[in-house]
Amino acid sequence: MEGRRAHREESHPRGCHFRLYHQHRRVRRHRLCGPASNLHHAACHLPVPRPARRTQLWSGHGHEYHPHAGDCCRIHVPRQDPPQAGRRILIVALLELIEISKTYNHEPAVDNVSLDLEEGNTLCLLGPSGCGKTTLLRIIAGLEQQDSGVVLFDGIDMSTVPPHQRQFGMMFQEFALFPHKDVFGNVSFGLQMQKHPRSEVVRRTEAMLKLVGLEGYSHRNVAELSGGERQRVALARTLAPRPRLLLLDEPLGSLDRALRERLMLDLKEILKRVGVTTIFVTHDQTEAYAISDVIAVIARGRIEQIDSPEELYRHPRTSAVARFLGFHNLIDAVVENEQALHTEIGILPLSLAGFKNSQRVTVHIPSNGIVISREKESLPGMGPLIRAVVKTCLFKGKYYDLEVEIESGKRLFFELPTDIEPPRTAEEVILVLRPDDMAIIPESDPW
């Protein structure tokens, strides 16, 4: 490649070079922002698709040749100095899904899904069983063919590219290790299929085993390994060929809870050390929060919300998302005016700018937004007094976990600091709400 590149640059006038791009007979161009962006098409005039682009600060280096470069067209680019600090360039996201749909027996499994994923990020597809998340992952991998829509990877339409040519690595929930091979044979399998020299296979296999904490396990039989060790072998096998995109289908789903929690942190650290762009599927919110940079909540084949873990937890956009995330203390309400909500626990004084009168909403009361009051009157800045009966009071070390039942029969859950004497089971208590801690979520259809 170096010799080929040198030959091409020597064949053209000094001060310029050629960048080669192709996309199944269609030409794509990357355009620099600013007056210095003097690009023109030098070979043909085929239509140029325009998927969504992201803005990113200039990194100080660029790609002279596209990894999938071909001879269908050439784009002449005058050689330029890097832009000044603060200038921005537009780049195409590494992975783009554009209006992907898939139907089984006239029922939509994936319904018009579009999203972008930047290089190096980890995306979680989070949702209940049967929501379409695994189908979407298989479409990206090429194991399923979408009915409509486009999968773009690094600007290339992957719709007709077979799975083994996509440079993707996929790890299934069952791990699918070869029982007749030892650990070395399993991890090196992809490298051997790529016809790497023996020395390179050994070097990269040993490096992968060291990365996942299995150094010295090369000759162990996979049947003798624990569940966590088999998971690490499967991950090492998937990473060894250096995939540009890693796809994980519930990688921790078959492990027990204690082992799963321990491996979550290990998996996150490994992915960041390798720097591989990753998509993983799970129905476990804890896994999604711990591992991912971005979470897409999927229901009925559609993306309900896509955000960072922190934003998703703090600001769910619909009541269906909040319920799936396991939020307790969700109360149905109706907007009375811009300053009050009518709920089953009383009138709540809240700022309701942007909501319409009589609009149905859901109020979320966080577990730290309820306090026990020994007063018989409401305190300034607090919500209404609520009579309740304690159902359970569990000591959790740093706090007491209380479950109470209000007069309407609805149960609320909250945490009580350990420096406060806890109430007894079946004791009547008075609860006070803190309106400033509440979140108002637009109502949505249940899943």
- What confidence tens digit (pLDDT) does each residue in 341-386 have? 888 888 888 888 888 888 999 999 888 888 887 665 555 556 667 8
The closest of 280, 235, 266, 255 to 126, measured between CA atoms, is: 280
Percent of the chain scored above 70 by pLDDT?
Answer: 76
- Average pLDDT (389-405) is 93
Residue entry with tokens 């309900």: 304
Is the model's pLDDT at 55 over the cut of 60?
A: no
**Under 8 Å CB-to-CB from 104, ≥6 apart: which residues?**
none
| Residue found under tokens 């637009």 | 442
For residue 382, what pLDDT is reported?
Answer: 61
pLDDT grade, residue 102 (50/70/90)? very high
Query: What span, in angstroms and rounded, lies between the C-alpha atoms of 406 and 403?
Result: 10
CA–CA gap between residue 411 and residue 256 (Å, rounded):
30
CA distance 159 to 177: 28
- What is the structure's pLDDT at 12? 39
d(CA 437, CA 367): 10
Assess whether pLDDT exceeds 50 at residue 30: no
Q: Is 35's pLDDT higher than 80?
A: no
Q: In the predicted model, is pLDDT for residue 315 greater than 60? A: yes
Average pLDDT for 223-227: 90
Most confident of 27-41, 345-359, 379-393, 401-415: 401-415
For residue 383, the model assigns a pLDDT of: 61
pLDDT grade for 305, boundaries at 50, 70 and 90? very high
The answer to whether the CB of 159 falls within 8 A of the CB of 150 is yes
- Give tens-digit pLDDT for 130-142: 999 999 999 999 9
Q: Is the pLDDT of residue 4 over 70?
A: no
With 70 as the cut, is the pLDDT of residue 5 above it?
A: no
Q: Which of 60-69, 240-249, 253-262, 282-291 has the lowest mean pLDDT?
A: 60-69
Report the pLDDT averaged over residues 103-131.
94
Residue 286, CA distances (Å) to 44, 260, 343 in order: 51, 10, 30
Output the pLDDT for position 344. Answer: 83
* DSSP string across 391-427: EEEEE-SSEEEEEEEETTS-EEEEEEETTSPPPPTT-
Pairing assessment for the beta strands 122-126 and 294-299 based on DSSP bridges: parallel
Give mean pLDDT, residues 221-235: 91
CA–CA distance, 110 with 264 (Å, rounded to integer): 28
pLDDT score for 287: 92
Average pLDDT over residues 287-296: 94
Q: Which residue has the tokens 């070869």?
A: 178
The CA-to-CA distance between both ends of the chain, in Å, stands at 52
Q: Letter for the amino acid at 225?
A: L
Q: Answer yes or no: is pLDDT of 83 > 90.
A: no
- Looking at per-residue pLDDT, the higher value among 296 and 318 belongs to 296
Beta carbons of 140 and 244 less than 8 angstroms apart: no
Average pLDDT of the segment spanning 156-177 = 90
Domains identified in the chain and CATH numbers: 1-91 (no CATH), 95-320 (3.40.50.300), 323-442 (2.40.50.140)
